[in-house]
Structure 1
Amino acid sequence: MENVKIYLNFFVEYLQIERNYSQYTIVNYVTDIEDFFLFMKEQVILHLEEITYNDTRLYLTQLHKRNYSRKTISRKISSLRSFFKFLVREEKLNENPFSLVSLPKREQKIPQFLYEEEIEKLFSISDCTTPLGQRNQALIEILYGTGIRVSECCAIRLSDIDFYIGTVLVHGKGGKQRYVPFGSYAQDAIEQYIHQGRKILLSKLKTPEEHSYLFVNNRGNPLTDRGVRHVLNEMIKKTSLTLHIHPHMFRHTFATHLLNEGADMRSVQELLGHSHLSSTQVYTHVTKDHLKRIYMSHHPRA
């Protein structure tokens, strides 16, 4: 199975150079493909050319027996389909054994979001006379005000922000970039944090070299995804809210509130940086519930 490892290395180079995928995404691809290689070993399949459609069905059965979720199974099959499609393109194989394998239907989960009164409680909890309080206020204002992913938020540099027109340059998945507007509340919070709190936090850096990342931790280093989760959990503890919050909730809330207020789907898709409209359409389930509540509350014959 020596050629298998060589082909995988070629595929990784393709994902890095041509597709410009993140290291995290590439690791997932490699993990999924290597899992299938173990299956090949168990089935004494020595060469990729020997794989048949029946083998792929058997592998799919094994994944179900391991009690993987439909989402995980879909990802694994999709990774393998891409891998073999690449090999066919490179003329290493004549056909893709996974081309006919149908993906299991994904569970349609309703995105969790915050109600307006819950958001207001979070906005009123920070002590904006302290450096960390200013940072926390700017953080939740930018997360809710733009709907960007937490990884995109942590990657913001000072040069990405244009206060004159109220936009931030967001570095998204796969090296894609987009400009996202933010409102006056976010602008006020960010400006106060940059001119006051951030300078104080940066002064705690052990190394003399400053960096340009917008959000920093209490030691002046760039704030990480994990750090954002910790900040939000600590903020929740100071409120009367009993919910479990995660950073992506702000993204869900951003999209839900926009659609509830009448924003069109295409505009929300562009703001969120979704490649496909289907990714944005999941939020219509939430807005339908919202419309139903309005109907039941106000229609005379409801």
Structure 2
Amino acid sequence: MDFAVAATAYTRYLADVRRLSPATVKAYESDLRDLRKACDVQELAEIDVEHLRDWLWTSVQRGDARATIARRTAAVRGFFAWAVESEHLDSDPSLRLSAPKRGRSLPKVATAATMADVLQRLRDAAEEGDPIILRDSAILELLYASALRVSELCGIDIDDLDMHRQTVRVLGKGNKERISPYGAPAQAALDAYLVRGRPALASRAEDAASASAVFLGARGGRIGPRAVYDVVSRRIGPALGTLTVGPHALRHSAATHLLDGGADLRAVQEILGHASLGTTQIYTHVSAEKLTASYRLAHPRA
């Protein structure tokens, strides 16, 4: 079977059957395109394990992160397993391919005091009525309050907000729907934005395609992940001394602060939308690190 045809069919399978996120599908598609170019073959059956090892070694020599190499390994393993199962290949050349273990680093977390200061300053600035500042205040409050992923935030529609119960319905990974709570500060920021900010942004839209979206861009269309990254970087970055902070930092911070405040680990798992409790447990390591630091500062025999 032609490699390019098989790769196209596989990525369609990932999107339509496995229901993987568009970002994951795009990454796998890029990996397979890179593999085909590196191997310089036309037919799928021409690729053997040595081709795959040489391709991964090129990634290592280039200095790619271990997580990137692990993803590339997963991409080809999944692709060839699918090809065999779909009877496009008789044998799987990736079976003897080993992947480097992914290192697990602790997430970057803003302190509760830092978050309170940043959000208060933004709330004060929003009093002037600028629609962009009103929107940014609501975005940051909701990201931090509900520990949302950036894709979940961008997909929120007006009907997904329950202002009475202070909850938001979001569509997470694997198209799994969940309800996330938020508090009074996020409620106040959303009220201000929806009444005084969003109508001004909506009036700039050239069509009605984004009429149901909660968060709008400067031109009135539904806001995208890149724009949200920019909002977080500009508003939170200076307080953390970096320009590379993204929305996930607020998710990490929210999870850690919930646990620090005594929240049950399984409740935090539900709020985050994690399928596995093990994924949530990384945040207990962050809290433990803070506990150790406090101990060393305060205990006379530390």
Query: In the alignment, which residue of structure 1 is the partner of 2:105?
Result: 109
> SS of the residue aligned with 2:134?
helix
- 1:225 and 1:210, CA in 2 relative to 1: closer, same or farther beyond 3 A? closer
Compute the displacement of 1:38 (Å).
Answer: 2.3
* Distance in structure 2 (CA, Å) of the matches to 1:116 and 1:27: 35
Query: In the alignment, which residue of structure 2 is the partner of 1:280?
Result: 280
Query: In the alignment, which residue of structure 2 is the partner of 1:232?
Result: 232
Compute the displacement of 1:183 (Å).
Answer: 1.4
Render the CA deviation track for 1:233-282: whole Å, top value 9, x for unaligned.
44358x76644332221111011111222333333222222233343233
Compute the displacement of 1:97 (Å).
Answer: 1.8
After superposition, residues 175-190 of structure 1 pair within 5 angstroms as: 175-190=175-190
After superposition, residues 81-160 of structure 1 pair within 5 angstroms as: 81-126=77-122, 127-129=125-127, 130=129, 131-160=131-160
* Distance in structure 2 (CA, Å) of the matches to 1:80 and 1:52: 12
- 1:241 and 1:58, CA in 2 relative to 1: closer, same or farther beyond 3 A? closer
Unaligned 5+ runs, structure 1: none
After superposition, residues 122-271 of structure 1 pair within 5 angstroms as: 122-126=118-122, 127-129=125-127, 130=129, 131-207=131-207, 211-236=211-236, 242-244=241-243, 245-271=245-271
* Distance in structure 1 (CA, Å) of the matches to 2:56 and 2:239: 46
> SS of the residue aligned with 2:121?
coil
Compute the displacement of 1:46 (Å).
Answer: 5.9
Query: In the alignment, which residue of structure 1 is the partner of 2:52?
Result: 56
Query: In the alignment, which residue of structure 1 is the partner of 2:301?
Result: 301
> SS of the residue aligned with 1:93?
coil
Equivalent residue letter for 1:19: R
Unaligned 5+ runs, structure 2: none
- 1:204 and 1:5, CA in 2 relative to 1: closer, same or farther beyond 3 A? closer
Equivalent residue letter for 2:285: H
Kindly indicate whether residue 7 of structure 2 is the aligned counterpart of residue 8 of structure 1. Answer: yes
Compute the displacement of 1:287 (Å).
Answer: 1.2
Query: In the alignment, which residue of structure 1 is the partner of 2:39?
Result: 40
In the superposition, the TM-score normalised over structure 2's length comes to: 0.87
Q: Point out 4+ residue stretches in structure 1 off by more than 6 angstroms.
A: none
> SS of the residue aligned with 2:126?
coil
* Distance in structure 2 (CA, Å) of the matches to 1:194 and 1:36: 47
Render the CA deviation track for 1:139-159: whole Å, top value 9, x for unaligned.
111010011112211211110
* Distance in structure 2 (CA, Å) of the matches to 1:240 and 1:157: 30
Equivalent residue letter for 2:18: R
Equivalent residue letter for 2:16: I
Equivalent residue letter for 1:216: L
- 1:70 and 1:124, CA in 2 relative to 1: closer, same or farther beyond 3 A? same
